[in-house]
């Protein structure tokens, strides 16, 4: 898979927006054909694992591992996930971390995001000249999935700029899955619905969440996410 970045981005406007808000969304980030290929690959060819927070720790499990649990054990697992989330700490979605043994198409996406010209582009827009590389994961949010309010500024990590490459078409904002930002006291500020072929960048100190996907959502929410690091 050949991934090509749109050559007609308005860099000055994007830089000004990020400078003002610490957040920016870049529409039509990739050329249309590249974006379409990624979307179809994420929907049909990726082996995801459930990622969730329960009993004070981050966990992962395949769909089969969860379905193999007894009904009572499975119900207890989800109760634990939701109890943590009710206290403001938690997440539930499916993911595939892009690593050396990932499918070539996923590695091509990450290679594009790590290419010299893209890192220079992101550095220019964010005015952060310390960016060296990006990690990445493919994510899918289904009905009921969510990510509670948090920051990505983790002690001992080298994260600088968070990114979300949106790969969901025709999303209705009533379906949830909003990338929601907050003030320090928890007051909501900016809120962005998933947008196909958009790249959202934000400072890792920004408080944010992904709101729960509604039970009546007709689609899953797909994206490539990660962090540009020192």
pLDDT digits (tens, 9 = 90+) for 22-54: 999 999 999 999 999 999 999 999 999 999 999
Sketch out the chain's domains with CATH numbers: 11-229 (2.60.120.620)
H or E element that contains 150: strand 146-150
For the chain, the farthest-separated pair of C-alpha atoms sits apart, in whole angstroms, at 56
**Mean pLDDT in residue range 125-152:** 98
pTM of the predicted model, to two decimals? 0.96
Q: pLDDT band for position 161 (50/70/90)? A: very high
How far is it, in rounded angstroms, from Cα 126 to Cα 23? Answer: 9
**Cβ-based neighbours of 88, under 8 Å, separated by 6 or more:** 148, 149
- What pLDDT does residue 1 have? 86
Task: Indicate the pLDDT class of residue 20, thresholds 50, 70 and 90.
Answer: very high
The DSSP letter of residue 213 is P
Which residue shows structure tokens 């007894």?
Answer: 70
Render pLDDT for 79-136 as a digit per residue (tens, 0 to 9). Answer: 999 999 999 999 999 999 999 999 999 999 999 999 999 999 999 999 999 999 999 9
């Amino acid at each position: 898979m050949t991934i090509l970045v749109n050559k007609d981005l308005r860099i000055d406007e994007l830089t000004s927006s990020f400078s003002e808000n610490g957040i920016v969304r870049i529409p039509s980030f990739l050329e249309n054909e590249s974006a379409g290929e990624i979307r179809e690959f994420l929907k049909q060819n990726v082996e995801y694992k459930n990622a969730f927070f329960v009993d004070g720790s981050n966990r992962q499990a395949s769909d089969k591992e969860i379905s193999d649990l007894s009904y009572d054990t499975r119900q207890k697992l989800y109760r634990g996930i939701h109890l943590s989330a009710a206290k403001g700490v938690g997440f539930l979605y499916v993911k595939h971390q892009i690593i050396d043994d990932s499918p070539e198409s996923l590695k091509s996406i990450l290679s594009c995001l790590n290419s010299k010209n893209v890192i220079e582009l992101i550095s220019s827009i964010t005015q952060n000249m310390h960016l060296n590389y990006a990690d990445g994961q493919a994510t899918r949010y289904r009905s009921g999935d969510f990510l509670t309010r948090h920051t990505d500024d983790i002690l001992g990590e080298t994260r600088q700029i968070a990114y979300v490459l949106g790969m969901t078409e025709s999303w209705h904002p009533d379906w949830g899955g909003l990338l929601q930002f907050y003030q320090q006291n928890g007051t909501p500020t900016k809120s962005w619905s998933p947008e196909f072929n958009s790249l959202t960048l934000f400072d890792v100190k920004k408080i944010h969440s992904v709101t729960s996907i509604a039970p009546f959502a007709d689609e899953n929410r797909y994206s490539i996410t990660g962090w540009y690091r020192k």
